[in-house]
Amino acid sequence: VSGHGDVYTNHWAVRVTGGPQQADRVAAKYGYVNLGQIGSLDHHYHFHHSRVVRRAAYSQKGPHRFIHMDPEVEWAQQQIIKPRVKR
């Protein structure tokens, strides 16, 4: 639960070794869609979960969070909106 006014999105960054197909499998297991590699970061994938609220003040509970405990997943982070200003 955020204590700093963070806003949680329904996008996750996930590190999975074993290639894109393995990432697809892990994503499907928990109801995510794998949207592909994050830029030029190897083994890092962009997962999206359409059944999670697009913006929320809390990191919602639910079966989708089991991905954090999956042995195939080395690291996973729900994406938080970072306020950015044009200068």
Residue 21 lies near another protein (rule: CB under 8 A): no
Residues 32-71 that bind another protein (CB under 8 A): 35, 38-41, 44, 46, 50-58, 60
Spatial CB neighbours of 3, under 8 Å, sequence gap ≥ 6 = none
Burial of 34 (0-12, 13-18, 19+ CB in 10 A): buried
Q: Is 83 in the site for another protein (CB under 8 A)?
A: yes
Residue type (1 letter), 80: I
Judged by the rule CB under 8 A, the positions of this chain that interact with another protein are 5, 7, 9-11, 13, 35, 38-41, 44, 46, 50-58, 60, 77, 79-87
